[in-house]
Chains A and B, each alone.
Chain A
């Protein structure tokens, strides 16, 4: 039945690409269909580039990470076993790709003085941006090591132990770097008036009320 479905679905993927569901895309990509691959890329590239952008030095590096990440996605898509969300699976591959590239460039050993980093962040101006982009740009103002730990822990949801394994650092180092990163980011967000110290962040209000 599934083999029949595969053939039927494959035809549907070729003839009606605009009606692809996620299952169709996965099947098409397993069969190396350029149409399905393009559809998958179009759906997830904007979000994944944002993920890469938070880890990279600049947009060009982020696009390089995105390119390499999607090549790995297409190469390993046959190993996806429908356990969990497909987007989460792609995201994990993308994060690992970003970390591998950063490790290859050996940037994690750089240490930056917190005060200098804070001053540097203050000098950067990000005028006229939507709040989401403002927050991302502020994250990118952090030193690479702080930024990476903050991205992995606060946004991607890895534990400090997992972060230690990925970055070849101690779990305690990951915790301390995250604390410093969070404090620094909070200062930057306050200085840029993206958040107000006297007014809770909308998300915070919800949590406190609960």
Chain B
């Protein structure tokens, strides 16, 4: 008896002492556990890279080129809407003469005067009389044009040619003699054959010509019949692009209420848990490759269509074990059927933990639009959206059974045709004749992977970086 008491007491003694004992694990243990549960924390680098890229490009366009016309893609200046007038004096006095050729140009003509405000500010106001202001517009306009180095093939008055606004010498300017009775001699200018960089960046193949040469008998400033035109932009372009994406899986159930427990009683009788709480999945990296033809409807808006290959994947934490039955619930026209299936891949328990991967190989036909939202001399920013009818090439993906117990492959339940929607923010810049673009994109699978009759719905969502090249078609 005493021995039994002693034995029991000895065991109690050991138990008490063992329960008092504490040991504190290394921090690495928790980091390893957290990594197993929530994946490798390095993957958000793609997220931050995408967001940072878009933010830096947007900020660069806005803050490095602070200009009122940054978001003005109309291609015309308000000044050109003012009918220009020439000033021509028989006795050297300055007077105005209406011209018609500097009326607001049509869609085919465009005169960019980005530097105009600077030109106007440097011009001494004392040399401008009210009656001369329309001419002042004209005079100042042409220097601005010349400052942009538009190619002209005739003689013009020299003051504004190839000079910066601050170099305009009022004495040589036609406004200099506001009260004078004679015009100073106006030297002839050398023609300037420099290309127009601004319009070249805009069109890629700018060809600026003067349709009507100036007459030497008239002051070059005031022969306002010069019309600057450019050739129409080629509307069609070809895009070739690729991108890396992170794929997630979103699960939802069509079974509601108490029906939930009929099929889930074995694995989960806890009403607090839904399908997303009983599965463990981790995103993984995929990619896309594609090409498209785009059509520029106008300077701001374009449409595109093409062909694209998608590879998407994600991982699932599971267990392998003995073959065990599970239930798949199918709903058809309000009637519910259950199908029994067998699998060796289990969810939540098993003899050995494992990780299974679902791979998706798809062909898509993206049809989308692009909207130009910001522009600078050498780059611009676009937002784009598309819908992508998608054909699923493989059907061997694992799906969780309705009772959450196992993962099984049911090719007959996989939807072959699906629909994806995407949105993107692209920075575009030109190197040579090729335009490059890159930026973040987001894609969402709008219909479940499995047929509508299956009770658990899976929708994929991807985000990542896209890089592409655009070449105008001749």
Contact = CB atoms under 8 A, between A and B. Distances in A.
A70 interface: yes
Interface in A1-18: 2-3, 6
Interface stretch (B10-18, B193-201, B410-418): B10-18
Given A30-B270, A38-B30, A207-B8, A78 B278 contact: yes
Contacts of B16: 203
B82 interface: no
A154 B9 contact: no
A71 B33 contact: yes
B271 A3 contact: yes
B23 interface: yes
A204 B13 contact: yes
Interface stretch (B34-42, B375-383, B441-449): B34-42
Interface residues of A, number: 52
B23 A186 contact: no
B446 to A, nearest CB: 25
Nearest to B5: A207
The residue among A50, A76, A131 with the most chain B CB atoms within 10 A of its own CB is A50
B267 interface: yes
A201 B9 contact: yes
A133 B21 contact: yes
A50 B273 CA distance: 31
A136 B17 contact: yes
A58 interface: no
Contacts of A27: 272
A2 B37 contact: no
Given A182-B10, A203-B9, A78 B33 contact: no
B34 A208 contact: no
Interface string A126-157: 00000111011001000000000010011100
A111 interface: no
A202 B16 CA distance: 11
B272 A204 contact: no
Interface residues of B, number: 45
Interface string B240-283: 00000000000000000000000000011111110001101000
A70 B33 contact: yes
Contacts of A200: 9
A187 B6 CA distance: 15
A135 B17 CA distance: 7
A174 interface: no
B26 interface: yes
Nearest to B28: A63
B74 interface: no
Nearest to A134: B17
A46 B24 CA distance: 5
Contact of B32 (A47, A67, A135): A67
Contact of A32 (B11, B29, B37, B271): B37
Contact of B271 (A2, A53, A132, A185): A2
A108 interface: no
A203 B271 contact: no
B21 A132 contact: yes
Interface string A179-196: 000100110000000000
A131 B17 contact: yes
Contacts of A186: 10
B474 interface: no
The residue among B13, B26, B36, B277 with the most chain A CB atoms within 10 A of its own CB is B13
A19 interface: no
Nearest to A157: B15
B349 interface: yes
A63 B25 contact: yes
B22 interface: yes
10 contacts: A30-B270, A38-B34, A45-B25, A66-B25, A74-B37, A136-B21, A155-B11, A201-B9, A206-B9, A207-B8
Interface of B: 2, 5-26, 29-30, 32-34, 36-38, 267-273, 277-278, 280, 317, 348-349, 353
Given A41-B33, A50-B22, A200-B9, 20 more contacts: A2-B271, A3-B272, A30-B273, A34-B38, A37-B33, A37-B37, A46-B25, A49-B24, A71-B353, A75-B280, A75-B317, A78-B270, A79-B268, A79-B348, A131-B17, A132-B21, A133-B21, A135-B14, A155-B15, A186-B10
